Amino acid sequence: MQISTKFTIAIHLLTAVEYFSKDYKVTSEFLAGSVGSNPVIIRNIMSQLREAGLISSQRGKTGISITRPLDEITFLDIYRAVETGSAKDLFHFHEHPSPECPVGRNIHKTLGSVLKEIQEKMENEMSHHTVGEVYHSTVDAIKAQTPDPEKSDSE
């Protein structure tokens, strides 16, 4: 089980759009530079975010915009938008256990409910975290790295 890099890239994209859109025209090329990725990959993820109703984009002056506050976009929203098959069960069973084997005969029904519970807990936890949290932490980290001009003058 592994969630692809599209998940973290999507969060990066939304954070960068929010951070830079006041001062720059944010495009897929601009975002590709921030992510360190190919613009085609960025456009594909942006297309998924657009289909999920999380962003809108127009050619021309406006660039990309986020359709609702980042504090209202959960990790689960992102997961469902960009992870192919996220509407399916997270865990997949091997298809042909032996019906002659007592373990093979019963493993799907005994393990299935536990795996479903794990998936529900993961999705529940993802629904409690927002892109806004990441944005605010990122802004704090940027501010911590930026020297305070008043402090450097007095030292």
Any domain includes 65? yes
In the numeric block, which tokens belong to residue 141?
């980290």
Q: Whose CA is closest to 78, among 15, 148, 144?
A: 15
Any domain includes 150? no
Q: Could you give the CA distance from residue 18 to residue 57 in angstroms, rounded to a whole number?
A: 13
Q: Whose CA is closest to 57, among 78, 34, 38, 30?
A: 30
Cα 14 to chain centroid, rounded:
9
Any domain includes 151? no
pLDDT at residue 85, rounded to an integer: 67
Amino acid at residue number 121: K
Domain limits for position 100: 5-135
41, containing H or E segment = helix 39-51
Any domain includes 42? yes
Q: Which residue has the tokens 């069973």?
A: 93
Q: Please name the residues in contact with 61: beta carbons below 8 A apart, sequence gap of 6 or more.
A: 25
Any domain includes 30? yes
Q: Under a CB-based contact definition with an 8 Å cutoff, are residues 80 and 48 in contact?
A: no
Q: What 3-state DSSP class applies to 64?
A: strand
Any domain includes 99? yes
Domain at 55, CATH number: 1.10.10.10
Q: Whose CA is closest to 10, among 38, 33, 43?
A: 43
* pTM for the full predicted model: 0.83
Any domain includes 154? no
pLDDT at residue 89, rounded to an integer: 74
Any domain includes 43? yes
pLDDT at residue 4, rounded to an integer: 86
Overall domain count for the chain: 1
Per-residue pLDDT of the chain (155 residues; tens, 9 = 90+): 568 899 999 999 999 999 999 998 888 899 999 999 999 999 999 999 999 999 998 766 667 899 999 999 999 999 999 987 666 777 878 888 899 999 999 998 999 899 999 999 999 999 999 999 999 999 999 999 977 767 654 44
